[in-house]
Amino acid sequence: MDLLQTPIEYLKGVGPSRGELLRKELGIHKYGDLVQLFPNRYIDRTRYYKINELQNSAAEVQIIGRIIHIKTVEFGKNQKRLVATFTDDETGQMELVWFQGIKWLKESLKLNEKIVIFGKCTLFNGTFNMSHPEIELLAEHEKSLRSAMQPVYPSTEKLANRGISNRVFTKLMQQLFLETQAAFSETLPDYLLTSLSLIPKKAALFNIHFPKSNELLAKAQFRLKFEELFFIQLQLITKNLLQKHKIKGHAFTQVGSFFNEFYQNHLPFDLTNAQKRVLKEIRADMGSNAQMNRLLQGDVGSGKTIVAFMSMLLALDNGFQACLMAPTEILANQHFVGLSELAERMNISIKILTGSTKTAARKIIHEELENGALQILIGTHALLEDKVKFKNLGLSVIDEQHRFGVEQRSKLWKKNSIPPHVLVMTATPIPRTLAMSLYGDLDISVIDELPPGRKPIQTVHRYDANRLKVWKFIRDEIAKGRQIYIVYPLIQESEKMDFKDLMDGYESISRDFPLPQYSISIVHGKMKPADKDAEMKRFSEGKTNIMVATTVIEVGVNVPNASVMIIESAERFGLSQLHQLRGRVGRGAEQSYCILMTSHKLSSDSKTRMETMVQTNDGFEIAEVDLKLRGPGDLMGTQQSGVLNLQIADIVKDKEILALARNHALVLLKKDPALQLPEHQNLRTVFLEMTKKKNIWNYIS
């Protein structure tokens, strides 16, 4: 029997009650799971720092020295802290601080004794301090020098409260290696180990838990990160290949009158080179016998919709219908208005179906879809209803797809015996690393240039104290005939406060921009849809100068004459949201501006966000920073983040390893798609084992 399959309670030192806890808290069921509990950091007890070498970082350090002064400081209401002055006798002094156990510490700390302190240092008012340090007499410390690099394992409050400390985890790990005698079989083929200079699996697992040096630790981490990302890529690429082999698509072999007529006579502007390149990729996909699954990324305003429309025309040329699904009514309506203009010139029948479509109109849509008279249908989730049946759906375009769940998307597939081609569009740039992991089974196209004649939006950051100057700037822009957005944050939990912010803002703006000289629209989530639309309409027709709104306008509104976007309390928005909001302006030929208003109190993350927005208009650059700040799970929303439950690799920090793993997986699968070659037998075993677990398939589009 494979020792690694042994239930965890049989490991010496675990037993039934600890076993139950480890299962519930960390999902450790058997020996093999415990081996995969990798330390999330290491304490380097090999080095002693001097005070003048300290950095303001999150690293833990140890210093030899002595305490030369102790005092109690009162702060706040009846609150005290104990502060000790510590010196290393050579390079300087620092402070040790305690907020708890003060009485006991005061009695036990001795002045001028040689001690070793250990903990995290922070810089405060030019002096380093360490709060609640570990303290050990130098003489004791020298006797008990433990393994040089000490692993720190992930844990939970419950485990700590029940006495399963880091020391216990270290002991259990030692016991595990004793009992299994390193029964870890190699998972990667020899030629990969050689070409990438990877250390063997056994050595990697041993050195991740008991590293003798930083160098060995680095080799172990690299080997295990590569392996984890490599197997994920194998799964994703295999899924893509399977889709192409198994799932037959309609071959759109005709490029006919609809496409050519539009291209030659009705294109509203010349296509950019990026748009032409992407159209070529889509045409190649739809011309083959396999179903297309393509993700189209492009910044706000890069012209994705026209590419989608031309792809729909290819479906029409081949005798099929097409549909476009958007996450909100506002967005669906906007697509409908834009595409109707293009379709009407060519006598193409196009309709919209949303939650608010009247019953009589619905009935007509259902009939025309089934008899084929309706060629293009735009809509929201309403397209997924069972009553909606197409005569022959050839292409589904899905806009801002991260807002739709996997089940919803698969419903669109089932509307045909042969599934339609799928084009997924997003204006939320996804960093390449994340795209390779989340959408590794989709082919990816990127529109990375804006249409000519667009001026880059100028972005500035202003504090609330500068408001008078900002208001003067707005008056000047309105005098030139421009329109202005002023957006307030809306955060669900504190809706009362946000609504108050918006209404207070609206009132003070109304005082500063009075009728009849100025007129203001207001839009927020508590309004009826009809009122919202009426206000939007007034603004887009130029009847009002200023639109005061919550983030309902984040996606959707297209008013080329609006040239200024003011974002109030900008520090309360995420980067991608700020970027989306900024994309509402800059749609005309005039110079546009985005003004980020914040209070003076900003966290370091907020400062980074403001600086990033001021420095760049590039959505991909912004997405990379966002990924660093927020981590992959948050970025994709919870339903997508499951795929990123990685045990050792980090999508952000290990993007080079990810690219390496993907390239090697592609080469390997080209050579041996079914993993049948003798040198791939180990790989095949692990691969089949992984596909049994639902660790990845659920999360991928």
One domain, residues 128 and 153: no
Look-up: residue for tokens 């350090």?
61
Among 594, 578, 596, smallest CA distance to 586 is for 594
Q: Tell me the pLDDT of the chain averaged across its residues.
A: 86
**363-392 residues labelled b (16+ CB within 10 A) or e (exposed):** eebbebbeeeebbbbbbbbbbbeeebebbb
**pLDDT attached to residue 97:** 94
User: What residues contact 359, with CB distance under 8 A and at least 6 apart?
Assistant: none
User: Per the structure block, which two tokens stand in for 397?
Assistant: 């375009």
Q: Which long-range contacts (CB under 8 A, 24 or more apart) does 68-77 make?
A: 68/93, 68/111, 68/112, 69/111, 70/106, 70/109, 70/111, 72/102, 72/106
**pLDDT attached to residue 271:** 92
- Asked whether 295 and 426 are in contact (CB, 8 A), the reply is yes
Query: Residue 33 — pLDDT band, cuts 50, 70, 90?
Result: very high
- Asked whether 85 and 93 are in contact (CB, 8 A), the reply is yes
Strand extents, DSSP E, 483-635 = 483-487, 520-523, 546-549, 562-567, 593-598
One domain, residues 609 and 516: yes
Strand extents, DSSP E, 125-207 = 127-131, 134-137, 149-152
- Asked whether 584 and 547 are in contact (CB, 8 A), the reply is no
User: What residues contact 57, with CB distance under 8 A and at least 6 apart?
Assistant: none
CA angle 562, 610, 626 (to 5 degrees): 100
Query: Residue 537 — pLDDT band, cuts 50, 70, 90?
Result: confident
- Tell me the pLDDT tens digit for each residue of 80-115: 899 999 999 999 999 999 988 888 888 889 999 999
Look-up: residue for tokens 């955060």?
491
One domain, residues 601 and 497: yes
**pLDDT attached to residue 123:** 85
CATH number of the domain bearing residue 114? 2.40.50.140
- Asked whether 28 and 156 are in contact (CB, 8 A), the reply is no
Query: Residue 700 — pLDDT band, cuts 50, 70, 90?
Result: very low
Residue 356, SS3?
Answer: coil
**pLDDT attached to residue 595:** 98
* More confident: 552 or 32: 32
pTM of the model: 0.65
Query: Residue 148 — pLDDT band, cuts 50, 70, 90?
Result: low
**pLDDT attached to residue 642:** 40
**pLDDT attached to residue 552:** 63
- Evaluate whether residue 462 is within a structural domain: yes
- Asked whether 130 and 96 are in contact (CB, 8 A), the reply is yes
- Evaluate whether residue 446 is within a structural domain: no
Average pLDDT of span 41-50? 84
**pLDDT attached to residue 376:** 97
Other Cβ atoms within 10 Å of 62 Cβ, number:
19
**Whole-angstrom Cα distance, residue 347 to residue 465?**
56
- Tell me the pLDDT tens digit for each residue of 271-294: 999 999 999 999 999 998 888 989
DSSP H helices, 210-318, are 214-246, 257-261, 273-287, 304-317
| DSSP designation for 264 | I
Query: Residue 181 — pLDDT band, cuts 50, 70, 90?
Result: confident
Sign of CA dihedral 148, 152, 153, 156: positive
How many folded domains does the chain comprise? 4
Residue 595, SS3?
Answer: strand
**pLDDT attached to residue 558:** 73
- Tell me the pLDDT tens digit for each residue of 482-504: 999 999 886 554 555 566 678 88
One domain, residues 129 and 162: no
Average pLDDT of span 396-406? 72
Query: Residue 458 — pLDDT band, cuts 50, 70, 90?
Result: very high
| Chain CA centroid to CA 227, Å | 23
One domain, residues 87 and 174: no
Is 663 a residue whose pLDDT tops 80?
Answer: yes
User: What residues contact 479, with CB distance under 8 A and at least 6 apart?
Assistant: none
Given 93, 124, 145, the domain boundary residue is 145
**pLDDT attached to residue 347:** 93
**pLDDT attached to residue 249:** 82
**pLDDT attached to residue 12:** 94
User: What residues contact 674, with CB distance under 8 A and at least 6 apart?
Assistant: none
Peptide bond preceding 516 in cis form (omega within 30 of 0):
yes
Residue 573, SS3?
Answer: coil
Look-up: residue for tokens 């699996």?
201
| DSSP designation for 598 | E
* More confident: 620 or 10: 10
- Tell me the pLDDT tens digit for each residue of 310-319: 999 999 999 9
Average pLDDT of span 109-131? 90
| Residue at 393: amino acid letter | L
User: Per the structure block, which two tokens stand in for 469?
Assistant: 């100057």
**Whole-angstrom Cα distance, residue 594 to residue 608?**
17
DSSP H helices, 61-123, are 102-108
562: left (phi over 0), alpha (psi -120 to 50) or beta: beta
Given 163, 182, 201, the domain boundary residue is 182
Look-up: residue for tokens 């019953």?
359
**pLDDT attached to residue 407:** 62
Query: Residue 20 — pLDDT band, cuts 50, 70, 90?
Result: very high
* More confident: 69 or 496: 69
Sign of CA dihedral 500, 504, 510, 513: negative
| Residue at 612: amino acid letter | T
Average pLDDT of span 150-164? 87
**Whole-angstrom Cα distance, residue 137 to residue 65?**
10
Burial of residue 27, with CB atoms counted within 10 A of its CB: 0-12 exposed, 13-18 middle, 19 or more buried: exposed
**Whole-angstrom Cα distance, residue 561 to residue 477?**
11
| Residue at 33: amino acid letter | D
- Asked whether 578 and 548 are in contact (CB, 8 A), the reply is no
> CA-CA distances (angstroms) from residue 53 to 93, 121, 490?
12, 11, 45
Look-up: residue for tokens 């980090």?
650
CA angle 326, 332, 336 (to 5 degrees): 130
CATH number of the domain bearing residue 382? 3.40.50.300
One domain, residues 172 and 63: no
**pLDDT attached to residue 566:** 96
- Evaluate whether residue 18 is within a structural domain: yes
Residue 100, SS3?
Answer: coil
**Whole-angstrom Cα distance, residue 521 to residue 538?**
7
User: Per the structure block, which two tokens stand in for 342?
Assistant: 């293009």
Q: Which helix (H) or strand (E) holds 636?
A: helix 619-636
Other Cβ atoms within 10 Å of 468 Cβ, number:
9
- Evaluate whether residue 361 is within a structural domain: yes
One domain, residues 130 and 277: no
Is 605 a residue whose pLDDT tops 70?
Answer: yes
One domain, residues 492 and 569: yes
- Evaluate whether residue 230 is within a structural domain: no
One domain, residues 89 and 9: no
Look-up: residue for tokens 């049994």?
692
DSSP H helices, 57-165, are 102-108, 138-143, 157-161
* More confident: 407 or 454: 454
Q: How many helices and strands in the chain, by DSSP H and E? A: 25, 21
- Tell me the pLDDT tens digit for each residue of 342-386: 999 899 999 999 988 999 999 999 999 999 999 999 999 899 888
One domain, residues 519 and 374: no
One domain, residues 390 and 276: yes
Is 601 a residue whose pLDDT tops 80?
Answer: yes
Query: Containing domain of residue 34, as a range?
Result: 1-39+148-182
Query: Residue 518 — pLDDT band, cuts 50, 70, 90?
Result: very high
Query: Residue 334 — pLDDT band, cuts 50, 70, 90?
Result: confident
Residue 59 backbone dihedrals phi, psi, to 5 degrees: -75, 150
| Partners of 151 in beta bridges | 42
- Evaluate whether residue 655 is within a structural domain: no
- Evaluate whether residue 138 is within a structural domain: yes
**pLDDT attached to residue 406:** 56
Look-up: residue for tokens 């250390």?
199
125: left (phi over 0), alpha (psi -120 to 50) or beta: left
- Evaluate whether residue 315 is within a structural domain: yes
One domain, residues 375 and 518: no
* More confident: 202 or 78: 202
- Asked whether 574 and 605 are in contact (CB, 8 A), the reply is no
Average pLDDT of span 663-687? 93
**Whole-angstrom Cα distance, residue 300 to residue 292?**
24
Given 182, 206, 241, the domain boundary residue is 182
Residue 378 backbone dihedrals phi, psi, to 5 degrees: -105, 145
Angle separating helix axes 304-317 and 273-287, nearest 10 degrees: 30
Average pLDDT of span 61-78? 91
Query: Residue 638 — pLDDT band, cuts 50, 70, 90?
Result: very low
**pLDDT attached to residue 314:** 96
